[in-house]
Structure 1
Amino acid sequence: MQASITGQSSASGRSDAAIKRADERTLRRIMENVEITSSNGTLRFAALVAAVCGGLYGYDTGIISGALLSMTDEFGLSHHMQEIVASAILAGAVIGALATSWLSERIGRKITVLVVAAVFAIGAVACSLAPTVPLLVAGRLLLGIAVGASTQVVPMYISELAPPDRRGNLVTMFNVAIGIGILLANIVGVTLHNVWTWRPMVAIAAVPAMVVCVAMIFMPRSPRWVAENRGLEPAAEILGQVRDTHRDVQAELRQIQEIAREAKPEESGWRGIRQSWVRPALLAALGVAFFTQCGGLEMMIYYAPTFLEDAGFGRSSALYASLGVGAVYALATLLGCLFVDRIGRRRLMLIMIPGSVISLIGLGAMFATGATQGPASWLTIVFLLAFMLFNSGGIQVCGWLLGSEMFPLAMRGPATALHAAMLWGSNLIVTGTALSLVQAAGLGSTMWIYAGINFASFLFVYLFVPETAGVSLEDIEEALRQGDFRPRQGDSGLTRRAGVAAVPA
C-alpha cells in the first residue's frame, strides 16, 4: 500500500516539478473531505492510555523487589534461583523488543499496543498462579515479552500521533509512568507484605492491563502508519481528530509525501542500519543504553531490600528503604523529563553522572566497613537515595530519549528495536549477575565496581555523544550524512543546517 504515497515518483521520465504538482493536486483533493474534530482531550487521553503500559512495565519489574522475599520463603530459592526469577522478565523483554518491530509494521502501532496490554494481563495472571519455580520463571518471561514490546511500540505510537510542538511532553509521559509504576510496586511491597503474599501483588497488575486493552479499541491509529499502509485519505481523517486546523493536517500530509518520495530502498529497515554513515548514531545511542542499565540502578530497584537485609537491616526497614528508592526514582525522572530540553541531553548526563560515582563510592564504603547499624544506617540510606537521584534524573532519562531521536526515519523502527534490545540485554546481564557478584566480591566491592562503570559512562558521553537538544531530526540525519555527528568543543551541540546558532552550551 505504500505505493499510494509514493506512486507519483514511480513513473519514469517525470520531473520533480511535475511530481510535486501532482502531489499538491492530490493533497487539495483529500483536504476537501477532511473534517476537523480535534480536541486536546482525545490526543492527551490516547497518550495517557498508551503510557499506562509504561506504568505496567514499572510495576511488573519493580514488584520483584518486595515480592522476592516472599517468593524465597515459599520456594526456598537460592541466590542463584533468585537471580533467575528476577532476570527472567528481562530475557523476555529482549525478545519482546526485537519481535515488536516486525509486528508493529505489519498490524500497526495501535493494534500492537492492544496486544501488548493483553499479554501484560495474561502474564500477570499466569505468574501469580504458578505452582512451581519453572512455571514462575515462564510467567515472568511472558511478562517480560510485554515489557520489552511496550518500550518499543508505545513511545513510537505516541510520537507519531502527537503534533511536533507537543511531542516531547506527550512521549515523556511514558517515562514518568514507569517511575510511577515502580513507586506503586514499592508501596504495595511495603504496606501489604504482611497482608498479601507475592501472588496477589503480581496478579493485581492484570486490572489496569485489561483497562488499557479495552480503551485502545477506541483510540486512533497512528496516522503515519495508516498513510504508509492504507493511503493518505484515511490518514487525513485520523489527523483531523488530533490536529487543530486544516493547515496542520495538510502540512503533515505534505511531509509524509516528501519523506516517502526521498527515501532510498537501501536506507530502509535493517539494511539501513548497516550503512557506515549511521554508525556514529548507533555507537552513541547503544553505548548510552548499555551504561543506562549497567550503571547499577536496576540492581538497586530489584535487590535493594535483599542487600539491606544482608547488611543487617530488618526486613521492615529494608522494605521502607526500597519505598524511598521508588519515590526518588519517580521524582527524579519527572524532574529530568521537565528539564532535559532546557539543559540538554549531553550536559544533563555530564552533570549528574559524577554524583552517581560519588554516591556509589560512599555506599560501598558503608557496606565494606560494616557501618550500617545505629546512626550510620541513615548515612547508608542517604548514599543509596543520592545514587537513585543522580542516576535516574540523568542518564536514565536520556537513555530512552536518545534512541528515539538519533536514528534516521527510514530505519527508525528496527533501530529503536535494536536500541531497546540493548537496554534490556544489559539489564539482563546486571540482574542475572548482581547477587553472584556480591557473593564473590562482597557488597562494598560490588558498589565500587559499579562506581567504576559510572565513571566509564562519563568518559563515553564526553567523547562520543553530541548534544541533540533543540536540533530537528532532519538536522541530526544531515549531520550523520556529512560525517559531522560528534561532540563539539564547548558542548555546543550539532549545528543547524540553516546556518543559525548551534544548540546553546
Structure 2
Amino acid sequence: MALQEENGGMSGQQKGSPRTLVLMVTSAAIGGTLQYGYNLTIMNAPTVYIQKFVNESFQRRWGIQLESYQVTLMWTVIVSVFSLGGLTGALLAGPMSIHFGRKKTLLLNNIFLMLSALLAVTSQKAQSFEMIIISRYLVGINVGVSMNVQPMYFGESAPKHLRGAVALSSSVFTSFGLVLGQVVGLREVLGCESCWQYLLASNAVPGFIQLLTLPWFPESPRYLLIDRGDKDACLNALRQLRGCEVQKEELDEMLQEQAEFEGRRAQRPWELFKDRNVRWQLISIAIISSAMQLCGNDSIYFYASYIFQEAGISAEHTQYASIGTGTCEFTACILCNLLIERKGRRMLLMGGYVLMTGWAIVFTVALSYQDVVHWVPYLSMVCVFAYILSFGIGPAGVTGILPTEIFNQAARPAAYMIAGSLMWLNLFIIGMIFPFIVSGLGQFCFVPFGVVCVLSAFYIGLFLPETKGKTLPMITNEFNKLNFDRNKNARPKCENVYYQLGEVQHSTAL
C-alpha cells in the first residue's frame, strides 16, 4: 500500500516545470553531442595553416622539407587521431556511466575537453605540432564518452511517447555543432592564419556552459531506480522532468525492469557476444553503427575542401559551400525529429540509405562529365548537399537511439560501448584513407560509399523491426523470432511479471 499512497500522492502535485526536460536536453547536448559536430568541422578551415605549421616544425627541428604526400599523411594523422580518442572514449563510457551515473559522467567528461583546449591554444607558442595531435586525441575521448552516454541519459529520462524525439535531439545538436564550427571557422571569424589555435581551443566554451547548467538537473530516473535502487530519488527526478504527476503506467514499466534486473550486474561487452538472447540486436547495432561511418558522410566534413576541389569549386568559395553541408544536415535532423514519432525509426533509417544510394550514383555521373558541361560542377555540389540531407533524415539520428530501445538496462552500457567502438574505429579508417580514395578513384570516389548504403538499406528492410511506441518486452519478442528461429525449443522461459499497486506478483509461462 505504500507504493499506492506514493503514486496516489503524485497525481495532484505539479512540481517542477514542463520545460525542465527541454532545458536538461539543451544543457547536456551543448557540452555533449554538439562537440562531435563542432570538432569535425573546425578542422577544415585551418587545414592549410596547420599543414604549413607542421612543415615549418620539421624544417626548424630537423632541416627536413616535407613532400606533398608527407604533408597529407601528417594531416590525416592529426585529423584521424580524433577518431582514436573517440574509440577510447567509447570504451570508457560504459564503466563511467555505470559507476558515476549518466549526468555525473557528462560533467566529469569535461576534464578531457579542458585539457585539450589548453594544449591547442598553447601549441603554436610552444612550436609543437605534437600538442595538436594530443589535443585532438583528448577531445576525441570527450566526444566518444558523450556520444554514448548522452543518448542513454536522454532515452532513460524521456517519457515513452517522446522517447524518439528527445533521443533524436542528440543528432540535432550534432548537426548544429557542424554549422557552428563552420561559421566560427570562417576566415572573417577565427579561420585566419593568426587565430587557428584559438579556433581549435574554442570547443571549451560549450563545455563551460554545460558545467554551469547541467548540475541543476536530475539524474536519469531509470538509473536511479534500477542501478541504484533509490526509489525516492527516482520519483523526485520524474516529477521534476515531467512537471506533473508521474503516470502509473510509466512507473510500472520501470518497476518491471527493476524486478528483472534485481540481483544482476551490468553485462560486459564480451558477455553480449556470448548471449544468444541478444544475438540479432547486437548484429543490428554493429552493422548500423558501422554503416554510419562507412557511408562516408562524416568524412565530408573532415575533407570538404578536397571534395569541392574535385567537383571543380574554386578555393575561395569552398568555405561557404562547406557551411551549406552543415546547414543541410541541421535542417534534415530537425525534419527527422518531427517525423520520427509519426513514420517510425525503420522507415527513416532505410529511406535515408536508399536516398543516399541514389545521390551517390548521380554524383558519380556528374563528376564524370564535369569537364564536358560547364554547370555540372554545381550539380556535383548539389549532390553532396542532397547526400548529407538524406543522411540527416534518418541514419544521423536514428542510429544513436537504437541501443537505448532494443537493449535492457543491464546490457545497454555494453551495447553502447560496442556500437561506439565500431563507429569510431570505422571513422578512423575512413578518415585515414578518404583523401587517397578521392585522389585515387577520382570521379568514382563515392562508389564504395554507395555500395555500403544499398547493403545497409537491404539489411534494415529485411531484419530490423520497428521500435516506435513499443515497450522493451515487445521489441525483444520481435528479435526473438530471429534469435531462436532455427531452434524454437531453445527459447528460454519468459518471466511475465504483473504489478499491482502495493505488491509485486510473478508468474512463469513458456
Pick the TM interval, shorter chain. Answer: 0.7 to 0.9
Output the CA distance in 1 between the equivalents of 2:296 and 2:136.
Answer: 21
Q: 1:494 maps to what in 2?
A: none
**Kept after mapping to 1: 8 A contact 2:165/2:341:** no
Given the alignment of the two structures, is residue 150 of structure 1 paired with residue 146 of structure 2, yes or no? Answer: yes
Aligned residues of 2:88 and 2:141 also touching (Cα < 8 A): yes
Give SS of 1:463's match.
helix
Does residue 175 of structure 2 align to residue 179 of structure 1?
A: yes
Q: Secondary structure at the match of 1:442?
A: helix
| Corresponding residue number in structure 2 for 1:233 | 232
Aligned to 1:87: 80
Aligned residue for 2:363?
Answer: 363
Contact 1:38 1:242 in 2 (8 A): yes
The answer on whether the counterparts of 2:261 and 2:409 sit within 8 Å (CA) in structure 1 is no
The change in CA–CA distance for 1:386 and 1:471 in structure 2 (over 3 A counts) is: same
SS of the aligned residue for 1:269 comes to: coil
Alpha-carbon separation, structure 2, partners of 1:374 and 1:92: 42
Q: Secondary structure at the residue paired with 2:354?
A: helix
* Equivalent position of 1:162 in the other structure: 158
- Say whether 1:70 aligns with 2:63: no
Compared CA separation, residues 312 and 132, structure 1 to 2 (3 A): farther
Partner of 1:327: 327
CA change 1:372–1:420 in 2 (3 A) is: farther
Describe the superposition over 1:454-485 as per-residue Cα deviations: whole angstroms up to 9, x where unpaired: 22222222332222223222200232345479
Q: 1:49 pairs with 9, 15, 27, which one? A: 27
Native 8 Å contact 1:30 1:236 kept in 2: no
Could you tell me which runs of 5 or more consecutive residues in structure 2 were left unpaired when the two chains were aligned.
Answer: 56-69, 486-495, 497-510
Where do 5+ consecutive residues of structure 1 fail to align? 1-23, 487-496, 498-505
- Between 102-111 and 453-462, the greater mean CA deviation after superposition: 453-462
Which of 122, 133, 141 does residue 129 from structure 1 map onto?
122
* Conserved? CA contact 2:49–2:196, under 8 Å: yes
User: For residue 350 of structure 1, what is the aligned residue in structure 2?
Assistant: 350
The question of whether the paired residues in 1 share the 8 Å contact of 2:329 and 2:388 is answered with: yes
Normalising by the residue count of structure 2, what TM-score does the alignment of the two structures yield? 0.83
Aligned partners of 2:355, 2:251: CA distance in 1, in Å?
A: 45
The answer on whether the counterparts of 1:288 and 1:399 sit within 8 Å (CA) in structure 2 is yes
After the TM superposition, which residues 88-103 of structure 1 pair with which residues of structure 2 at under 5 Å, given as runs? 88-103=81-96
Per-residue deviation, 1:392: 2.4
Partner amino acid for 1:185? G
What's the offset of the Cα at 1:420? 1.7
2:2 aligned partner: 25
Are the structure 2 counterparts of residues 377 and 213 from structure 1 closer, same or farther at C-alpha, using a change threshold of 3 Å? same
Question: 1:179 offset after TM fit, Å?
Answer: 0.4
Q: Which residue of 2 aligns with 1:61?
A: 40
Q: 1:72 to 1:365 in 2, by over 3 A?
A: farther
Contact 2:53 2:129 in 1 (8 A): no
Equivalent residues of 2:308, 2:318 under 8 A apart: yes
Is this contact kept in 1: 2:156–2:220, CA < 8 A? yes
Contact 2:311 2:381 in 1 (8 A): no
Amino acid at match of 1:177: F
Alignment CA distance shift 1:163-1:349 (3 Å): closer
Deviations 1:172-230 (A, max 9, x none): 22210100000111122234334753212122221121111121222222222223326
Specify the alignment match of 1:503 in structure 2: none
Q: 1:272 offset after TM fit, Å?
A: 4.7
Q: Which amino acid aligns with 2:25?
A: A
Structure 1 letter corresponding to 2:437 = L
Residue 79 of structure 1 contacts residue 436 of structure 1 at CA under 8 Å; is this kept in 2?
Answer: no
Mapped contact 1:312–1:372 kept (Cα < 8 A): no
Shift of 1:311: 5.4
What is the identity, as a one-letter code, of the residue corresponding to 1:135? M
CA distance in structure 2 between the aligned counterparts of 1:234 and 1:390, rounded to whole angstroms: 41
Q: Is the 8 A contact 1:118 1:209 kept in 2?
A: no
> Aligned partner of 1:201: which letter?
L
The letter for the 2-side match of 1:114 is: L
Aligned to 2:196: 198
Q: How far did 1:36 drift? A: 5.0
Measured after TM superposition, the shift of residue 407 of structure 1 is 1.7
Describe the SS at the equivalent of 1:156.
helix
Q: Distance in 2 between matches of 1:291 and 1:253?
A: 36
- Compared with structure 1, are the counterparts of its residues 122 and 473 closer, same or farther at alpha carbon in structure 2 (3 Å cutoff)? same
Distance in 1 separating the partners of 2:314 and 2:120: 28
Letter in 1 for 2:21: L
| TM-score between the two structures when normalised by the length of structure 1 | 0.84
Aligned residues of 1:70 and 1:197 also touching (Cα < 8 A) = no
Give the aligned partner of residue 447 of structure 1.
Answer: 446
**416 and 85 in structure 1: CA distance in 2 versus 1, 3 angstrom threshold:** same
1:453–1:32 distance in 2 versus 1, CA, 3 Å: closer
Deviation at 1:273, TM superposition (A): 5.2
Count of residues in Structure 1 that have an aligned counterpart in Structure 2 = 462
More displaced stretch, 391-400 vs 276-285: 391-400
Whether the 8 Å contact between 2:272 and 2:282 is mirrored in structure 1 is no
Output aligned runs, 1:187-226, within 5 Å: 187-190=183-186, 191-192=188-189, 193-194=191-192, 197-226=195-224
CA distance in 1 between partners of 2:295 and 2:197 (Å): 30
Q: Per-residue CA shift, 1:268-321, capped at 9, x if unaligned?
A: 512355311211111112211111110110121111112323555332211111
Q: 1:117 aligned to 110, 120, 124, which one?
A: 110
Q: Is the 8 A contact 2:306 2:438 kept in 1?
A: no
Residue deviations 1:44-100 (CA, integer Å, cap 9, x gap): 211110111221221012211223233123223612112111111111111111211
Counterpart of 2:218 in 1: which secondary structure?
coil
Counterpart in the other structure of 1:501: none
1:466 maps onto 2:465 in alignment: yes
Residues of 2 paired with 1:401 and 1:273: CA distance? 20
